[in-house]
């Protein structure tokens, strides 16, 4: 592992050298308490003397004169994973053994370079502290995230720390660093201290480095996938960590740190913060090498032997669609090659931690007070890498885990509960293993790798099943950057995480799938802990004379679809013209301008709230559809346990933007443009839907109201 550690350490030094903050600690703002702050407690206990020394000599950033020790003496909410002297000594010994070029012996005084010594100090210190700011509490163990998942907030090294729980009392950070059973949950006046028996030091390796190490050592697990990815020429892509152009523009102030925008009275300060980084990320779903051995393929065979066998297996088992056009030669890096198309369908262009594969927030029957008790099915629809194709990530009370491309039978009647009734063996899909002992979650800075228990492909069966259902997708699923940079649905009420400003395209094209004119101020409202009747509560808004074009997901099959747009109208919204088509530069207008200020109850479209007569309720639905609108979905609530259902509100509605034939090989775009001479009226976006004619115009089984 020496070569891997060397690469990882170089990456760590690079990332730490770019970490910056302009604030100094205002020591005059310290409180005076009768009990100890974090730093005082650590200073009183000899077991942390080495750690205290590091805190006192490590600045909080390369631009600050204040030390981390001063930070931990000031008011705040800090979670400190404090390594003991023995843990630091062990870390120095491991560092020396892995890379003797750093030091002559395992000692802080034996480093050959002061710069490298300081970098290693920062590794120890920055990775040990989560600063929760003014809005969040520090983390006691009873508030740690679920085993296999990550803390919502980054540590000082701008990295996520994951949690693994074994049995009743054993807790590990990043899989291998045990939290002391006896010395944990030490409550200080400005935080919580947990004694660590190992130093937390993520390797900071990229997906490409991890996969290359598998190839170099021939370590089984995901070796077949590693060989396929390498053959397809994807290693350079998987080595990307962050957009350095954006980074430099942000640090120079060319991209504003925040803008002021007053929104709905919910955010009286009006500060909307720009993302600090533009990180790249990836998620890989991989059949295991054990699976391939069962199929008769030897993961240890050379690529020249293995890959033709893999292509033959894909062909023989029809892991493709009849509409696919591909080659089967050994030019695997060609995008038209079958292996390339099969491999890229396993990869999402963003990093997705284990607890963010499917979001649960305010669906029917769900309660945030019992966050792991799932109710109705929830799913995400994403576009994979390579040729643009859909993948469905699904979870419900009955599924007992997350699945890819699962298509169960649902109890979806008007007065039913929308739970799974059954699931045919051929429609179960691929189980996603999130166990941290098997999934690769912590050590890859730009990727998560999940084992799956069945082969994954965009087969005819998958495409047909997708084409037979309504496909609902949150507006933020259009933007891979929103996931890799943890903009979407971050579990934080801090202002910089609640309302996020996305620079307009002329400043920097942060969201690749969205283009804006230079007058648009675009804001994402995270709405964490807000009780809003939107899908997942969150929403997107814009002001001024906005004009925004969105690249949409593909459809699964050629056919006639409705494209729908969900709206929660109010007096702050504007009037906008929709455009829809496959040429982003010549999009035809879709109908007349839409007044976003008016709810469905105030429109002359025949609205009536649901009564006790289901047949009459269905007639009302038909009348509304004839006028180009629909009630909101029954599955979306303001609070899953409150009964405040989107369908029952006379404000919520879905506009049918277009009804037309669509082709899976075409890319479709939606443009919204303000038609008002006003800078104050808002654009609004929540979720959208593709609904095939087989669903919305089915004479036997009408579309469900969920």
| Helix runs in 151-190, H state only | none
- Say how far apart CA 36 and CA 72 lie, in whole Å: 11
Residue 199: half-sphere exposure toward Cβ, Cα within 13 Å: 25
Question: Where along the chain do its domains lie?
Answer: 2-196, 207-270+277-347, 472-696
pLDDT in tens, 353-368: 999 999 999 999 998 8
Helix, strand, coil abundance in the chain, percent, nearest 5: 25, 25, 50
Backbone angles phi and psi of 217, in degrees to 5 = -95, -10
- 204 pLDDT band, cuts 50/70/90, is confident
Contacts of 364 (CB under 8 A, 6+ apart): 375, 376, 418, 634, 635, 636, 637, 640, 645, 706
CB 452 within 8 A of CB 347: no
Backbone angles phi and psi of 369, in degrees to 5 = -75, -15
CB 471 within 8 A of CB 381: yes
CB 240 within 8 A of CB 385: no
- Say how far apart CA 32 and CA 45 lie, in whole Å: 20
64's tokens: 């600050």
pLDDT for 320 beyond 70: yes
Question: How many C-beta atoms lie closer than 10 Å to residue 367's C-beta?
Answer: 14
DSSP output for 373-403: ---S-EEEEEEPSSS--EEEEEE-TTTTS-E
pLDDT for 15 beyond 60: no
More confident residue, 644 or 501: 501
Q: Is 307 helix (H, G, I), strand (E, B) or coil?
A: helix
Mean pLDDT of 146-158: 93
pLDDT for 480 beyond 50: yes
Question: How many C-beta atoms lie closer than 10 Å to residue 57's C-beta?
Answer: 15
* pLDDT reported for residue 106: 96
pLDDT in tens, 229-246: 999 999 999 999 999 999
pLDDT for 11 beyond 50: no
Strand order in the sheet with 471-474: 471-474, 687-692, 559-567, 653-662, 629-631
pLDDT in tens, 70-123: 999 999 999 999 999 999 999 999 999 999 999 999 999 999 999 999 999 999
Using alpha carbons, list the distances in angstroms from residue 369 to 207, 220, 355, 360, 362: 35, 41, 16, 12, 11
pLDDT in tens, 497-541: 998 999 999 999 999 999 999 999 999 999 998 888 999 999 999
- Say how far apart CA 437 and CA 338 lie, in whole Å: 32
Of 47-56, 231-240, 488-497, the one with minimum mean pLDDT is 488-497
Using the structure block, give the residue that is written with the tokens 């950057």. Answer: 481
Contacts of 34 (CB under 8 A, 6+ apart): none
679's tokens: 């800078």
133's tokens: 């700011």
Q: Is 555 helix (H, G, I), strand (E, B) or coil?
A: coil
Q: Whose CA is closest to 379, among 667, 689, 638?
A: 689
Of 202-211, 256-265, 282-291, 530-539, the one with minimum mean pLDDT is 256-265
Residue 232: half-sphere exposure toward Cβ, Cα within 13 Å: 27
Using the structure block, give the residue that is written with the tokens 């095939």. Answer: 692
Using the structure block, give the residue that is written with the tokens 């509409």. Answer: 323
Residues in the chain: 706
CB 194 within 8 A of CB 180: yes
Angle between helices 85-98 and 114-126 (to 10 degrees): 130
DSSP output for 637-677: BSSTTTT-BGGG-SS-EEEEEEEEEE-TTS--EEEEEE-SS
Mean pLDDT of 666-678: 94
* pLDDT reported for residue 641: 65
* pLDDT reported for residue 2: 36
- Work out whether the CA dihedral 47, 50, 52, 55 comes out positive or negative: negative
Task: Give 317's DSSP letter.
Answer: T
> Across-strand partners of 474?
687
Mean pLDDT of 327-332: 97
Q: Is 471 helix (H, G, I), strand (E, B) or coil?
A: strand
Rg (alpha carbons) of the chain, rounded to whole number: 27
Contacts of 129 (CB under 8 A, 6+ apart): 68, 72, 78, 79, 80, 81, 155, 156
More confident residue, 233 or 11: 233
* pLDDT reported for residue 460: 98
- Say how far apart CA 358 and CA 444 lie, in whole Å: 21
More confident residue, 316 or 640: 316
> Across-strand partners of 548?
516, 672
- 4 pLDDT band, cuts 50/70/90, is very low
pLDDT for 450 beyond 80: yes
pLDDT in tens, 245-255: 999 999 999 99
pLDDT for 18 beyond 80: no
Contacts of 16 (CB under 8 A, 6+ apart): 119, 122, 123, 126, 157
Asked if 2-196 and 472-696 have one fold, the answer is: no
Mean pLDDT (the chain, rounded):
92
pLDDT in tens, 585-628: 999 999 999 999 999 999 999 999 999 999 999 999 999 999 99
Enter the pTM of the model.
0.92
| Helix runs in 451-513, H state only | 460-466, 480-484, 495-498
pLDDT for 20 beyond 80: no
Q: What is the CATH number of domain 2-196?
A: 2.30.180.10
Residue 176: half-sphere exposure toward Cβ, Cα within 13 Å: 12
- Say how far apart CA 191 and CA 47 lie, in whole Å: 19
Burial class (CB in 10 A: 0-12, 13-18, 19+), 308: middle
| Helix runs in 99-234, H state only | 114-126, 207-217, 223-231
CATH topology of domain 472-696: Jelly Rolls (2.60.120)
- Say how far apart CA 443 and CA 449 lie, in whole Å: 11
Contacts of 517 (CB under 8 A, 6+ apart): 504, 505, 506, 545, 546, 547, 548
Four-point Cα dihedral 20, 26, 30, 36, nearest 10: 40
Mean pLDDT of 642-654: 89
Four-point Cα dihedral 397, 402, 403, 406, nearest 10: 20
- 270 pLDDT band, cuts 50/70/90, is low
């Amino acid at each position: 592992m020496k070569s891997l550690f060397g690469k990882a350490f170089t990456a760590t030094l690079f990332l730490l050298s770019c970490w910056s903050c302009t604030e100094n600690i205002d020591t005059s703002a310290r409180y005076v308490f009768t009990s100890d702050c974090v730093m005082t407690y650590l200073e009183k206990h000899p077991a942390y003397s080495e750690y205290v020394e590091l805190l006192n000599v490590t600045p909080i950033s390369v631009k600050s004169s204040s030390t981390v020790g001063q930070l931990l003496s000031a008011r705040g909410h800090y979670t400190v994973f404090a390594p003991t002297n023995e843990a630091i000594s062990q870390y120095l010994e491991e560092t020396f053994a892995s890379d003797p070029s750093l030091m002559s012996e395992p000692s802080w005084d034996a480093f050959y370079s002061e710069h490298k010594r300081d970098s290693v100090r920062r590794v120890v210190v920055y990775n040990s502290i989560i600063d929760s700011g003014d809005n969040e509490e520090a983390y006691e163990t009873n508030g740690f995230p679920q085993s296999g998942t990550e803390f919502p907030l980054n540590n000082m090294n701008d990295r996520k720390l994951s949690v693994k729980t074994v049995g009743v009392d054993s807790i590990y950070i990043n899989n291998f660093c045990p939290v002391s059973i006896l010395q944990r949950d030490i409550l200080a006046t400005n935080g919580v201290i947990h004694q660590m028996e190992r130093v937390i030091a993520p390797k900071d390796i990229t997906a490409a480095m991890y996969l290359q190490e598998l190839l170099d050592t021939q370590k089984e697990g995901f070796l077949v996938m590693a060989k396929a990815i390498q053959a397809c020429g994807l290693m350079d892509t998987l080595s990307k960590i962050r957009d350095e152009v954006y980074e430099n523009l942000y640090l120079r102030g060319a991209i504003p740190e925040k803008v002021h925008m007053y929104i709905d009275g919910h955010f009286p300060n009006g500060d909307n913060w720009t993302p600090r980084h533009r990180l790249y990320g990836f998620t890989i779903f991989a059949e295991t090498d054990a699976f391939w051995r069962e199929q008769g393929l030897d993961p240890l065979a050379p690529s020249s032997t293995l890959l033709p066998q893999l292509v033959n297996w894909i062909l023989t088992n029809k892991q493709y669609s009849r509409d696919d056009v591909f080659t089967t030669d050994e030019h695997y890096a060609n995008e038209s090659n079958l292996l390339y198309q099969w491999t890229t369908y396993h990869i999402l262009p963003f990093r997705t931690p284990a607890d963010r594969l499917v979001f649960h927030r305010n669906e029917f029957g769900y309660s945030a007070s019992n966050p792991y008790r799932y109710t109705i099915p929830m799913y995400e629809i994403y576009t994979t890498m390579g040729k643009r194709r859909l993948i469905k990530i699904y979870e419900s009370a009955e599924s007992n885990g997350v699945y890819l491309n699962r298509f169960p039978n649902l109890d979806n009647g008007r007065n039913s509960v929308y739970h799974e009734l059954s699931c045919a063996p051929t429609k179960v899909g691929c189980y996603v293993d999130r166990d941290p002992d098997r999934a690769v979650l912590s050590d890859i800075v730009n990727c998560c790798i999940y084992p799956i228990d069945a082969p994954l492909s965009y087969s005819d069966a998958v495409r047909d099943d997708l084409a037979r259902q309504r496909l609902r997708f949150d507006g933020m699923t259009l933007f891979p950057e929103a996931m890799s940079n943890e903009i979407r649905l971050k579990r934080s009420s801090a202002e910089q995480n609640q309302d996020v400003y996305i620079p307009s395209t002329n400043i920097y094209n942060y969201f690749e799938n969205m283009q804006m004119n230079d007058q648009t101020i675009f804001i994402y409202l995270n709405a964490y802990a807000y009780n809003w009747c939107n899908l997942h509560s969150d929403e997107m808004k814009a002001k001024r004379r906005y004009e925004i074009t969105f690249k949409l997901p593909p459809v699964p099959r050629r056919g006639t679809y409705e494209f729908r747009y969900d709206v929660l109208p109010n007096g702050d919204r504007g009037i906008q013209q929709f455009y829809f088509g496959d040429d982003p530069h010549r999009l035809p207008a879709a109908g007349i301008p839409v007044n976003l200020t008016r709810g469905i109850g105030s429109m002359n479209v025949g609205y009536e709230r649901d009564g006790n007569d289901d047949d009459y309720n269905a007639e009302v639905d038909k009348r509304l559809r004839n006028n180009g609108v629909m009630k909101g979905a029954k599955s979306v609530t303001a609070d899953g346990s409150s009964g405040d259902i989107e369908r029952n509100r006379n404000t919520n509605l879905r506009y049918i933007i277009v009804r037309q034939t669509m082709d899976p090989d075409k890319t479709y775009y939606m443009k919204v443009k303000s038609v008002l001479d006003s800078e104050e009226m808002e654009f609004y976006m929540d979720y959208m839907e593709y609904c095939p004619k087989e669903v919305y115009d089915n004479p036997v089984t009408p579309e469900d109201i969920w």
